[in-house]
Amino acid sequence: MKNATQPKPLHAQHGRDLLSLRDLSARVGGDPLLVQAGNGNTSIKIEATLWIKASGKWLVHALQEEMFVPIELAEVQESIRTDTEVTQRNGAKDDLCPSIETAMHAILRHRVVVHVHSINAIAWAIRLDGPEHLKERLAGLRWRWIPYAASGIRLAREIEIAVAPVPETDVLVLGNHGLVICGDDCNAAEKLLREVEQRLAVTPRPVPRPDTRVLGTIARSSQWRFPDVDLLHALGTDAVSRRILKGGVLYPCQAIFLGQTMPLLPPAVAVSKFAEPLRRGDKAPPFVAVEKTGVMLNEKMTGAERATLIGLAQVTQRTEQTAQLRYLKGSEVSKLLGGGTHAYACRCESR
């Protein structure tokens, strides 16, 4: 896709609409049950222009930072038609990369689109029986289940096919991914988002407390430190969470920020020789879970890795012990980490 042309100056009402999107984005981004770090994206269509959050930007900072990229809708539609990802930097804002989900926002007919990585939605979206449970929870709403598809053109096309029979669809649950809410304006979209969240809410499972004696021994002699969020210990102390971790990758952000396999050690190994089994060359993982004991964080862990790990712990705590899960296939994970649109998103995230 060519760089988008300079958008026309905004009329006063359009400026207010964009400010409303910023307000909504900051509120959504400030809720860790909806957004973790730089994931999630919002957009508004103003005349022939799509204003969409830039890749890697954190929605919570929407009122403090410039983060919305204007792209001509006709150019996005041409990209979809020619199967060319919308990844080039926009000419009007050279320091911002359009969201990886730009095509999805463009094909939805609603004026405002909000895509979040809702913890409650993901807890259903990773289940093989998720669609059946959602039929009851979302009864009366105009919703569709979208089986997992890689972000970008492929996901946009899957959504386009799914909503074609019912174009007024305004709730999408994305398998192994998240939630999309649409509205005619920001108020309508936010109201619907809150209703859907209430319907999808799952009470987290109580989990055993960490063994601080073992973790304290580790902390005294290594690069690892105690989490500042207690719920993270569930990844080590809770048997259900450990089983889920061993199963594989549940959704893209888990693989992108935390790796393909979850570091999980028995206490004896962790105490006697903690660092060596975890190292991969000169790089250690951002965290390690110790069975029946708790979790320790790498002192070099990034903010995005920390937020993603907290989200993962919250998802596993909301997943029933008997639930059959749909993990990402090896080929899907390889595509995520091997290049293409997600590599582009990660480059923007690291900027």
Same domain, 191 and 103: yes
- Across the chain, what does the average pLDDT equal? 89
**Tens digit of pLDDT for each residue in 121-175?**
999 999 999 999 999 999 999 999 999 999 999 999 999 999 999 999 999 999 9
Same domain, 292 and 226: yes
Contact 10, 46 (CB under 8 A): yes
The CATH number of the domain where 24 resides is what? 3.40.225.10
pLDDT of residue 217: 84
Same domain, 194 and 216: no
For the chain, how many structural domains are there in total? 2
**DSSP 8-state symbol, 273:** S
What mean pLDDT is predicted for residues 325-333?
97
Encoding tokens for residue 221? 């002699």
Same domain, 301 and 277: yes
Same domain, 135 and 221: no
Same domain, 56 and 174: yes
Alpha-carbon distance of 145 to 158, in angstroms, equals 10
Same domain, 168 and 224: no
What mean pLDDT is predicted for residues 68-73?
94
pLDDT of residue 33: 98
**Tens digit of pLDDT for each residue in 78-129?**
999 898 877 554 444 557 889 999 999 999 999 999 999 999 999 999 999 9
Which of 63-67, 177-181, 266-270, 289-293 shows the lowest mean pLDDT across its residues?
266-270
pLDDT of residue 45: 98
Q: Is the pLDDT of residue 338 over 80?
A: yes
Same domain, 53 and 194: yes
Contact 263, 286 (CB under 8 A): no
**Tens digit of pLDDT for each residue in 245-289?**
999 999 999 999 999 988 898 887 766 656 555 554 457 789 999
Residue 45 forms part of a structural domain = yes
Same domain, 161 and 273: no
Contact 348, 97 (CB under 8 A): yes
Encoding tokens for residue 218? 């580790």
What whole-number percentage of the chain has pLDDT above 70? 87
**Chain centre to alpha carbon of residue 70:** 22
Determine how many CB atoms are found less than 10 A away from the CB of residue 247: 12
**What is the extent of the structural domain holding 239?**
212-317+320-327
Strand pairing report for 224-225 and 264-265: unpaired
Same domain, 107 and 136: yes
